[in-house]
A = this chain, B = another copy of it.
């Protein structure tokens, strides 16, 4: 996972595989684009290309939803859009709160993709009293003290954490205690939550490090012939020149 993964091992549900669920939004996006161009039907081959996946995989994914295609023709675009939306729960309205209105939180609040599908920013919450009342993306920021009340009054079940790492767990605990059962975490920390609560994390730094790994591998391949030779005999440990004094823990904000 670009994305990280914090799932319970496996749900007993006779439902859709997790890997498939993760791709449905991709299909939905491609289908929506087709719908806007008034394309009536699409083949698995075409749609797969648009979504950047394998056509066999796409067909198998759709087979978990039911037999919604017509052999010799393809899939009805409008119908599929509806079916996938329904499966993902996007036919209902999901009020969402964003906690931590720093640079990132503001960017999220302004993000158009939120409102476009089922998601509605119910409130923006920040711990800084100076922020209170200040409008961001047209929504006034509220103080953390109001958190529990906001969650309950609006029936919020999805929370987005964009606070510094140090505050994340505490915010998380309060969100969960107030009734939130799904959390999208942007803070670079491992969140601990009770069973029944889903956490997904988005971690900039991790994604970059993964890219760096591959980048290094590419560079190593073309230049050096053999570097895999020297293991780690010399324990030159702490003497490394790494970015020593780097205090992590601080997020945008």
- Interface residues of A, Cβ cutoff 8 Å to B: 1-6, 11, 13-15, 21-22, 24-26, 28-30, 32-33, 36, 50-52, 66, 68-70, 76, 78-79, 81-83, 85-92, 94, 96, 102-104, 106-108, 110-119, 157-158, 181-184, 188, 190, 192, 196, 198, 200-218, 228, 231-232, 235-238, 240-243, 246-253
Contact = CB atoms under 8 A, between A and B. Distances in A.
Contacts of A69: 252
A6 B210 CA distance: 12
A25 B210 CA distance: 8
A17 to B, nearest CB: 12
A228 B25 CA distance: 21
A9 B178 CA distance: 43
Contacts of A104: 104, 107, 111
A174 to B, nearest CB: 18
A204 B111 contact: yes
A79 to B, nearest CB: 4
B117 A14 contact: no
Query: Which of A28, A32, A118, A209 has the largest count of B CB atoms less than 10 A from its CB?
Result: A209
7 contacts: A2-B203, A14-B232, A36-B247, A79-B250, A90-B242, A113-B204, A114-B208
A228 B14 contact: yes
A243 B25 contact: no
